[in-house]
Structure 1
């Protein structure tokens, strides 16, 4: 292990270069590519290997096509009137209880997560609308509205479809379909604990009770929202019936959203479509650059046999699989507060996977534990990305948003602990669908 920390080795130069370039402001993807090329030069290898690894990794990963398609689908949802219709329906369903708009926030994020696969898309779409609804006429403090909106957005990549789970499938060689199925129960558990916390805070702080929508209006509102509500059913039904692969389901998600928004709701103009395509392209360029950097850097990690060295180092501590999972949770929660989740997923997790396999940890279970950790990192100070977005949208000081977010972080960590030590909470649904792991 001490050899890994020696900066005078080619690998040491590579790691030091990544740190320096990142601190200078270079995107992490470019930092990894540049540092990997430096490693090849210092170790006397052909620098063309970097391009070879990048192209081979992208050409052999058909599953990666799902990512830009899910991004496009979420952009079209935010652009059209789907978010408004879903929000109106959620308000009719749960808005009548004390703290009802907080419950609307949680439930709308749960439903929207079945379409977008992205926490940021959730935050910028339906989350932005619910935040405005909560703060209208001073019903809730802007800081609390921002905090619960940021916290509920983390459900997005847990409930299928999920962009992080697609990336995890790439690095772990596991089934995207079973990973999607494994996210359902954890996503519902996260929803329940956040609704319970919101209910407790609503009674403690005497949050307002919204006027109840008459039950006779619920059916018409359901009919208006039905095309949007059916989207997760169509996608997941297609995957688990064998009609579509996960990548094909992503294409169907984009097409389904386009047809609903343009033909049925007529809420997307030509300029709006251009804006959605442009935004999707920019987001995918950012994700693609990170993936490209990880593919090249993973060659360096494999060449240096880092996973085996880490496995042997951890073996010296004779950890059980549950002790290892505890250590992974602590490490990822700390890293998640400091680094971008995609970087951790594509760089750190491949190093831990061999040890997890050696300890007999199920890869589907491990993938969900990892993903939930990384999503909690999005709302963990000091560098939780969703905290900055929430602070910006609500025009509230960052510290005020952080204070209100802390209770949500704690209940989410408690839910994470349950998923970690009760594997069946994650694996039950995949096994119902035929998973044999």
Structure 2
């Protein structure tokens, strides 16, 4: 490949613009236009690909709708009721608030679909509760909030899995089901680690919620807890498509908040729409830019070239997945998860298919890797979010993150090498992969 080759100049442009601070979405569009110009192609193709890809993808409509559902829950009291329910279950144990942090992330994950939404929403509330009166060090509260937020995109609904389905043609419904056991595994490992650290550091025991109050707390939280159940039953019962399920999620969250809990007024409704629109615009710009850049990658026949290069080494599915894990973990340290899925995963999919790797299993492995990247320095977007929330130093946060990062890597190994852990639930609902 020559340094004057259009694709080489395209990559240099992409990296250069990113390094000087231009958003990655804008950098990809600019680099793609430079490629089209140097290759003598119609530069209007960039706009054509952007518009065609965005407006003809019914699947993509699920992303803003899931975001809107999360905003409605945050604006009302759904998230607070989930927190009270989690506290009633595990708050009585040593390190109870830390255990509540893990459990609320597991419960809230079935509603937000976004690690950042979890950390910025319920995570902000949890760090405040954990650090008030000096109960827990700020660094520990921040680290725990960051790592527990990782579970959100693993469990259904998951925005990264919707994006993965877009580039791989895998079933969104089965991807959602495939994330259930891995998500439960992540939370279980984190709760074990919290229990061990709580005893070692003598973290406080909270006043237990009387058992006689548990039924009332459960009833008040029940409508909020039913959202993921409604989605899974609707999807696997054939009642709705994934995009329709996203619309149902937003409608259900609004109905519960307005009619049952009665805590969203016109003002909160407006701000929810406004916030969802801002988030959707940010994600949509990234997806649109990646689709244009993927057109350039397709013209250069990069996926097939990479597939041929990898297959010449006589890889088997296990060695391929090990290599993919290493690549994605390294990329996750410097790039945002959606960027990785949109740019790099389409290059790996042909090889995975040629080796017989199940696309649903592969999707969970990919998303898991990109979520670990959110708590891996130097990029670690979740680490920066919790640092801003708590004010703890990054060094102390990283130190407290390490045991949980080891737990996440152990869980990733289990998900990678035991496909049945991922595919067990989808097969119960008719998946034949």
- Please give the range of the TM-score, normalised by the shorter of the 2 chains: over 0.9
Q: Tell which deviates more after alignment, 59-68 or 175-184.
A: 59-68
Q: TM-score, normalised by structure 2?
A: 0.98
Give the C-alpha shift of residue 318 in structure 1.
2.2
Which residue does the alignment assign to 1:109? 105
Unaligned runs of 5+ in 1: none
Give the C-alpha shift of residue 263 in structure 1.
2.2
8 Å contact from structure 1 (residues 7, 16) kept in 2: no
Which residue does the alignment assign to 2:424? 428
1:56 is aligned, of 52, 57, 60, to 52
Which residue does the alignment assign to 2:280? 284
Which residue does the alignment assign to 2:133? 137
1:386 aligns with 2:387: no
Which residue does the alignment assign to 1:182? 178
Which residue does the alignment assign to 1:42? 38
Give the C-alpha shift of residue 266 in structure 1.
2.0
Which residue does the alignment assign to 1:341? 337
> For residues 7-406 of structure 1, what are the structure 2 equivalents within 5 Å?
7-406=3-402
SS in 2 for 1:149: helix
2: distance between equivalents of 1:202 and 1:180? 33
Unaligned runs of 5+ in 2: none
1: distance between equivalents of 2:390 and 2:327? 31
After superposition, give the CA deviation of every residue in 1:190-224 in whole Å (9 maximum; x if it has no partner).
Answer: 01110111111111111111121111110000011
2: distance between equivalents of 1:333 and 1:409? 12
1: distance between equivalents of 2:203 and 2:23? 43
Give the C-alpha shift of residue 51 in structure 1.
1.6
After superposition, give the CA deviation of every residue in 1:159-217 in whole Å (9 maximum; x if it has no partner).
Answer: 00000000000000011000000000000000111011111111111111112111111
Q: TM-score, normalised by structure 1?
A: 0.97
Give the C-alpha shift of residue 357 in structure 1.
0.7
Give the C-alpha shift of residue 7 in structure 1.
2.7
Give the C-alpha shift of residue 315 in structure 1.
2.3
Give the C-alpha shift of residue 317 in structure 1.
2.5
After superposition, give the CA deviation of every residue in 1:349-375 in whole Å (9 maximum; x if it has no partner).
Answer: 000111111111000000000000000
2: distance between equivalents of 1:149 and 1:268? 27
2: distance between equivalents of 1:269 and 1:22? 41
Q: Tell which deviates more after alignment, 417-426 or 316-325.
A: 316-325
1: distance between equivalents of 2:127 and 2:265? 26
